[in-house]
């Protein structure tokens, strides 16, 4: 049976989300009564000042943080932890220094025991992003922009249904050849609807 969000074409739904950070000194309310919906095919940007809780929202949607109150629904199903359907690229690239670039990019495939077709996709993305020549290098030998491209490929290559990108857009990604893999292979790529949302309920800690 379809969940209530899926029946009306809503892909993601946040209902009355609240989140409180606990510190030794005091509690910090990061989010309060936050609600919004995202439909299939939308490209939505969360806009707000530094420290207002944008990354906290993404971590909650990714299942890395449990909200203090409220619920998150993906295709009508409540998110209670991490799921392969959600791909999350955080602000920092989080590449492992002891693994070469190829092993970093394919880490998710290794963990999820994906077949050869996913590794072929990884190779194509590495070539598309101009990283074929650095696959055997370690992250410490790459520039910040190259590391960020590797992190993006690592997120895309597992083929998640829903992408969360935390500040992923430096100048290089606006080149057509770099933007292409963000939508390649998805039915929604033909009808992406940009939307910019400035959440007034974010609280700066």
Question: With bands split at pLDDT 50, 70 and 90, how would you rate the model's confidence at 201?
Answer: very low
Residue 104, H or E segment:
helix 101-105
Does residue 10 or residue 113 have the better pLDDT?
Answer: 113
CATH superfamily placement of domain 1-84+188-205:
P-loop containing nucleotide triphosphate hydrolases (3.40.50.300)
Q: Tell me what the mean pLDDT of segment 197-205 comes to.
A: 41
pLDDT on residue 191: 40
Q: Around Cβ 7, how many Cβ atoms within 10 Å?
A: 10
* Mean pLDDT computed over 179-188: 41
> pLDDT tens across 49-85, in order?
888 888 999 999 999 999 999 999 998 899 999 998 9
Beginning with the edge strand found earlier in the chain, give each strand of the sheet holding 69-74 in spatial order.
27-39, 10-22, 69-74, 77-78
For residue 196, is pLDDT > 90? no
Mean pLDDT of the chain, nearest integer: 80
With bands split at pLDDT 50, 70 and 90, how would you rate the model's confidence at 169? low
pLDDT at 176 over 50: no
| Mean pLDDT of all residues in 86-115 | 93
pLDDT per residue as tens digits for the range 20-35: 998 888 898 999 999 9
Which residues of the chain form CATH 3.40.50.300? 1-84+188-205
Q: What element of type H or E holds 122?
A: helix 116-128
Q: With beta carbons less than 8 A apart as the criterion, state whether 5 and 178 touch.
A: no
**With 80 as the cut, is the pLDDT of residue 195 above it?**
no
Q: Above 60 in pLDDT, residue 8?
A: no
Query: Do 105 and 157 meet the contact criterion of CB atoms below 8 Å apart?
Result: yes
């Amino acid at each position: 049976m379809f969940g209530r969000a899926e029946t009306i074409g809503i892909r993601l739904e946040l209902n009355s989300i609240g989140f409180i950070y606990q510190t030794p000194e005091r509690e910090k309310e990061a989010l309060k009564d936050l609600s919004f919906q995202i439909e299939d095919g939308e490209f939505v940007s969360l806009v707000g000042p530094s420290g207002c809780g944008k990354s906290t929202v993404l971590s909650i949607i990714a299942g890395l943080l449990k909200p203090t109150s409220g619920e998150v629904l993906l295709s009508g199903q409540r998110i209670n932890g991490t799921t392969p359907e959600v791909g999350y690229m955080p602000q920092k690239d989080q590449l492992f220094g002891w693994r070469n670039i190829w092993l970093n990019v394919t880490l998710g495939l290794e963990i999820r025991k994906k077949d050869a077709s996913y590794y072929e996709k990884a190779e194509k993305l590495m070539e598309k992003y101009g990283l074929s020549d650095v696959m055997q290098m370690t992250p410490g030998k790459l520039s910040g922009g190259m590391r960020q491209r590797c992190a993006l490929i690592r997120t895309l290559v597992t083929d998640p249904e829903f992408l969360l990108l935390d500040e992923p857009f430096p100048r290089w990604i606006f080149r057509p050849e770099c933007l292409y893999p963000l939508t390649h292979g998805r039915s929604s790529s033909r009808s992406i609807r940009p939307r910019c949302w400035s959440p007034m309920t974010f609280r700066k800690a």
